[in-house]
Structure 1
């Protein structure tokens, strides 16, 4: 660990909120942190500071503004480079970002998202029907049998990935590998950095051969053919869409389920609201986004000049991350009730920044919300009294994703 760093961000901390979150907040509005591989960055630990970093043009997404990288101080085999060096939505600003974002925005417009409702409901019902075959009283993994396959099928449908399962399974494996911050250099370089783009190019070639047109993949390809996007930008956009289109939503569903079952009063209140003709699921989803953000850290922004953030100066060229696990439970931002508890009736839960702020705000936010609301509604309608396993759900070793490898439950 670098001697200047105040805290080391582990890929899989033993206590994400009780140890890491509190320690980051205690370090002040800006903390110096070390990442795996000894790479040092700044972490902004307040809600307003995080919103500033994500929304202020003085913080760029372009890696050319990262001083340590341009000076050759970041190892070429650093595993996280695969994500932050890619050409796509996550790594560009200004007009380039708007150009890359436009096809995604068209595909995820409010009208097109709402048109997906019957498809999402059908997928949820099919997955739950399969879970109904689990013997009474027997544990099952809700993450891998319901929360994950639901958004994976939805995003693969949007991308026009064949339904035979082979390619969908490979994209799921590549996505998980890309977000594994504990992976070795060889795995990242050979398995992820090479196989992911190769797999997506193979998908494009298959779709060209079939003459496919009406899906997001071919919208991006058409933009490339017309000179609006480069091949690297198309692949970068597809990588981001595959990962962001299912990983975060699966986490959101699991966190909401865990919140409702950890605090049974919240589930009782939801049932009472349903009986009164109200819809409780949007409030539950918003609180889940705050209580356990699907993303652990938003990485990276690079300061293009010295910037004052709540009395602390972030220097030009420094890399900055936004640790949502610390910010979303800050007692100053979410004072009442206790931010550590799951409370869907919280008056200011919607002030969370789980989907980001400013021009880089997640374009798939409305789809993620819709999928989570449908998933929760159908799940608790089909299995009114599920129970969590007494064993804690194991988290994935990732600096970017806040999720579980599995979520053992008993469905009753």
Structure 2
């Protein structure tokens, strides 16, 4: 898209590899509440960093997520077919819908993550966590374990697969292909391959559950398709949204919660002693390390003048919401906003799960998984420690997903020493 006259500065080039999300967020914040940015692939958009402006835009009636209606560059064929981020605007689900269409597509997802269904998952979450811990407990005392691979990503994957009724033989395939959609450092060819594989697996899942329906979200969505409520594409894309969002956010939440506690001994002591709760750990982690650093894309359906900032978003302007920047805004969290502090009184004032009509319906499940799994992990392995220096940990190659590539630890339990 072309930068409009409302975006006068040279665009800030976003790092698709996500090399240092928080340094980038600080640089963007210094340019104002919102600033023009160049996305991977050369397209431009506003990137919004100020929490108040984010809230106003996320609840504004003239801010859309539907590129098919409100992004002229997309409608006019100016977005290349091989743009590596195209899947994020091509899909037809609640993530990309506007107005009544969003209400229609969100309704079955809200039912999937209803309070009752989430409560019923608690015993499964505990059982899955215990099985993963039992597996880790067989590790030798000096063996380095990748806790992200063996715990942080396996737990939410198994939980969301239980929610959806995904057969075990599809588990790893979904993890790899959906993970590829979050990797914003991929070439167009690599991104296209991940996209194609994800849809192949989704079609296999739908065919399997059509033949053998169960009491699961996939079967419920298939019933919606059969009744005419959802098109075939909307069915597949809704499943992709549940798998992707239900997995990636919780993986990174667990990853960063563990990392922060292992690198902040005083904070860990507060939690282990009971002076701070695991709920506080979860909320401060969500603030300090938003699991989804940036979410793309939204569009101005009409010209929007934001009175408090004086910024004008022209009709058709694309918008990126920077949750990582919002979580560390010093106006909200003070001069220590970059520090991890489980006792922080403003910890809950984050936007990690979004805001307004697009607030993540899976937020209660992510929180439940974290407050269940984290205490079980630290009770089982009270001497848990990083196996490398913190600065050795490498970020995921993404400006969307905020997590580590690996999380090498030493378990150091008395049972295996």
**Stretches of 4+ moved more than 6 A in 1?**
none
**Partner residue in 2 for 1:307:** 304
**Partner residue in 2 for 1:181:** 184
Which whole-Å CA distance do the structure 1 matches of 2:140 and 2:103 have between them? 50
The question of 1:82 aligning with 2:87 is answered yes
Counterpart of 2:199 (choices 197, 200, 219) is 197
The Cα offsets for residues 361-410 of structure 1, whole Å up to 9 and x where unpaired, read as 00000000000111111111101121122153211111221112211111
Contact 1:5 1:40 (8 Å CA) reproduced: no
Which whole-Å CA distance do the structure 1 matches of 2:263 and 2:10 have between them? 35
Secondary structure of the 2:298 match is strand
**Partner residue in 1 for 2:153:** 148
Contact 2:19 2:395 (8 Å CA) reproduced: no
Alpha-carbon offset, residue 113 of structure 1: 0.6
Counterpart of 2:343 (choices 336, 342, 345) is 345
Counterpart of 2:291 (choices 285, 291, 294) is 294
Contact 2:88 2:296 (8 Å CA) reproduced: no
The Cα offsets for residues 157-178 of structure 1, whole Å up to 9 and x where unpaired, read as 1111113xx2111111111111
* Root-mean-square deviation (Å): 1.7
Q: How many residues align?
A: 402
After superposing the two structures, state which structure 1 stretch, 93-102 or 252-261, moved more: 93-102
**Partner residue in 2 for 1:281:** 278
Runs of 5+ unmatched residues, structure 1 = none
The Cα offsets for residues 101-147 of structure 1, whole Å up to 9 and x where unpaired, read as 12211121112111111110111111111111222133211100001
Contact 1:120 1:154 (8 Å CA) reproduced: yes
The Cα offsets for residues 52-99 of structure 1, whole Å up to 9 and x where unpaired, read as 122211110110211222233221210111121110011102221121
Which whole-Å CA distance do the structure 2 matches of 1:206 and 1:304 have between them? 40
Contact 2:18 2:396 (8 Å CA) reproduced: no
Counterpart of 2:366 (choices 361, 368, 377) is 368
Name the TM-score, length of structure 2 as normaliser: 0.93
**Partner residue in 2 for 1:32:** 36
Which whole-Å CA distance do the structure 2 matches of 1:53 and 1:255 have between them? 28
Runs of 5+ unmatched residues, structure 2 = 4-8, 413-417
Secondary structure of the 2:333 match is coil
Which whole-Å CA distance do the structure 1 matches of 2:78 and 2:396 have between them? 28
Which whole-Å CA distance do the structure 1 matches of 2:88 and 2:15 have between them? 18
Name the TM-score, length of structure 1 as normaliser: 0.94
**Partner residue in 2 for 1:44:** 48
**Partner residue in 1 for 2:6:** none
**Partner residue in 1 for 2:175:** 172
